[in-house]
Amino acid sequence: MFLTSGTGDQTEDDCENVYFIALLHDVGKIGVPDAILKKQDKLTPEEYEMMKNHTIVGAHILKDIKMLPGLCEGTLYHHERYDCHPVLPKRNGPGNCTAGTEK
């Protein structure tokens, strides 16, 4: 296993979940055009908005996978700041990930 529990508060399963969430967190970039993903110059405001949506697209793709607790939330909120300033305006709370269902 690549991760350790550190403080002892996390189980090996918790660490394994974080590992797999980390592997899958950017799956939503499949919904971003290659021209934006490969662009070397600064993104336009419109392109930046499209790129920010990759978290929502990814969470929508992964929302029905229940065997990995926190997968949808980890994917949806992986750009949220540690100071609790949300990047996304609406949070549904742990275990209630409804990403992409409002469309």
CATH number at residue 24: 1.10.3210.10
Residue 61 forms part of a structural domain: yes
How many structural domains compose the chain? 1
Residue 5 forms part of a structural domain: no
pLDDT digits (tens, 9 = 90+) for 29-44: 999 999 999 999 999 9
Predicted structure pTM score: 0.69
The domain in which residue 24 lies consists of 11-103
pLDDT digits (tens, 9 = 90+) for 12-32: 888 888 899 999 999 999 999
From CA 30, how far away is CA 65, in angstroms rounded? 18
The share of the chain scoring above pLDDT 90, in percent, equals 46
From CA 60, how far away is CA 58, in angstroms rounded? 5
